[in-house]
Chains A and B, each alone.
Chain A
Amino acid sequence: MRKFIDKLVFGLCSLSTVLVLGILFLILIYILLNGITSVNLDFFTQLPKPVGEEGGGMANAILGSAIMVVIATIISVPVSLAAAIYLAEFGRGKIAVITRFMVDVLAGVPSIVIGIFIYTIVVLPMQRFSAIAGALALAMIMVPTLVRATEEAIRLVPQTVKEAGLALGAPYWRVIIEIVLVSAHKAIISGILLAIARVAGETAPLLFTALGNRFFVKVLDRPIASLPVQIYTYAVSPYDDWHRQAWAATFLLVMFVLLINLSVRYVTRNKSS
């Protein structure tokens, strides 16, 4: 009887694994099949056509996403690096404990709440939706992930390496920037790439910060299109052609995100021994 339960339980565990992997492939296959046929040159180069007209592309959305992600990265990386260095190297007292707690809190805040926050402090005063608001929202989402990843990367650098630098007469700040960060650079860059992959797919925080736009945008203080928002708008619309484009855009987005995730994992896989 005990043997029977033993076999049953482990059978169920294998089944669960098959189920989960099956769902993963199911989702990916649908995205692949529905999207790949619609990804053509038009998709990359054309602007959306007016409602009801077939055709057109998402060139502006792709560009918009790219612009906001780049700006968000530029804003969040220095702040996160500095905070991570502080937490890993200097932080012992109350301030470090509270800061670390706040980073954890920020990590758990739903992205839509961050969108509201940026709305209240950027969009309202500016009286308009803008790309910069969107970028700020994305940056705020990136910060906790970056701080955690970087802090851990810095902590992994052995104490002896730091001591060797100090023993040669280098000031602490140089040891940190030139030796510690350089030793940890692989892990830090992986962290940055993973944060970018995460934030490229975020929709909710952009809904009322960057809003959306049917044209190319050349300035930062106007609403701007983004791939995730465009997917959402098209997906909930009643038009088949827009649905088709939504699949194509999803395919593109998911490919991008998976590619980054898999390559980061591949590159860092030999590190753990």
Chain B
Amino acid sequence: MDKISPLAETQAINLESNFQGKKRWLMTSAADNGFRQLTKILAILLLGLVITLLISMIYSSRLSISQFGFSFVFSSTWDPVKEVFGALPFIYGTLVSSLIALAFAVPISLGVAVFLTEQCPIKLRPVILTLVELLAAIPSVAYGLWGIFVLVPFMREVVNPVLGKTLGFLPLFQGPAYGIGLLTSGLILAVMIVPITTAISVSSLTAVDPTQREAALALGATRWEATQIMLLNARSGILGGVILGLGRALGETMAVTMVIGNRPEIAASLLAPAYTMASVIANEFAEATYDLYLHALIEIGVLLFILTFIVQGLAQLLIRQITKGTKSNA
């Protein structure tokens, strides 16, 4: 009856925090809100940055846009002396060199991806994958340097003559063998995008339920037939990776600039010198002595931005699909 409950005693202890003033406020949820708003503002800053980019570039190419309008995209005359500008040679060069890159990179990176997921001993896989990804770490200008002094002479002395002899009847492979040009650029780009397409293909393949492979084998399929089922399952991720690689190739500047030949003309031959959107900007920006010239170059930049924007957007859509799939499997 006279027992003092231990609870009653503890209730007497002061539960007030020792923090005073500003420190006290920092412990409240008001501070949390402030923090939240701060991060939100910085996130919106990023949003604003991209919008500003587009607006600013369009503004800085207004002279060229107003003077040439839509014909800028379709005109193939690029004459700074006569003050006539058209972007077609560069669009052509960019697209063709990137497509050549894809034509070489896709089969090779699929081959590597299948090797890594089906044949390679498990312990060796991260090693080889790391090595392949090192190709992505090498700076573009290093590729360019290697291109100028190693690949170009090789193309000029070895590959181009062989192509001329065997496939020279095709207009694709005619013309003098300088060693530079669309084909060479395409090859260097291929090497540069192999790591991306391989890495994404590998992760798409490993995300596939392995029971699919077993089910195929259980029906009497050979290893390759079972692999085809795995590739079928992984197709959207792989496609996303390929498109991502395409986006990278489209915007690649330095390596291409150093081996493309810098000639703003559309030629039928892959061995002829050419020009890409990124290269012309890199080469002639500092020499643009008058405003229209500069604005024309910036307009090419806008076109390049739009092109890569569309391609990257497509790639992201496809890749998001597979990552959603793996999250629900996990």
Contact = CB atoms under 8 A, between A and B. Distances in A.
Chain A interface, DSSP helix/strand/loop, else mixed? helix
A105 interface: yes
A20 B135 contact: yes
Nearest to B190: A23
Contacts of A91: 43
A203 B254 contact: yes
B309 A105 contact: yes
Nearest to A173: B35
B215 interface: no
Interface stretch (B81-89, B108-116, B171-179): B108-116
B145 interface: yes
Given A13-B115, A86-B40, A140-B49, A112 B301 contact: yes
A83 B108 CA distance: 37
Contact of B39 (A90, A113, A243): A90
Given A21-B132, A86-B42, A96-B43, A110 B112 contact: no
A250 B142 CA distance: 6
A35 B131 CA distance: 21
A114 B52 CA distance: 11
Contact of A109 (B126, B144, B251, B254): B251
B13 to A, nearest CB: 16
Nearest to B222: A6
Interface in B114-169: 114-116, 118-120, 126, 128, 130-135, 137-146, 148-150
Interface size class of A (residues with CB under 8 A): 35 or more
B312 A104 contact: yes
A17 B128 contact: yes
A258 B223 contact: no
Contacts, number: 263
B324 interface: no
B252 A19 contact: no
B29 interface: yes
Contacts of A19: 108
B207 to A, nearest CB: 14
A86 B47 CA distance: 13
B204 to A, nearest CB: 16
B52 A250 contact: no
B250 A112 contact: no
Contacts of A111: 251, 253
B142 A201 contact: yes
B131 A83 contact: no
A243 B149 contact: yes
B75 to A, nearest CB: 21
B137 A236 contact: no
A112 B141 CA distance: 13
Contacts of A95: 40, 43-44, 47
Contacts of B281: 112, 116
17 contacts: A2-B222, A16-B115, A17-B128, A83-B45, A91-B43, A102-B46, A108-B311, A109-B309, A112-B251, A112-B282, A117-B52, A121-B56, A172-B29, A176-B35, A235-B145, A257-B137, A257-B139
Given A104-B312, A202-B139, 16 more contacts: A3-B222, A6-B223, A13-B115, A24-B132, A83-B43, A89-B39, A90-B36, A95-B47, A99-B46, A112-B281, A116-B60, A201-B141, A201-B142, A203-B141, A235-B148, A236-B148
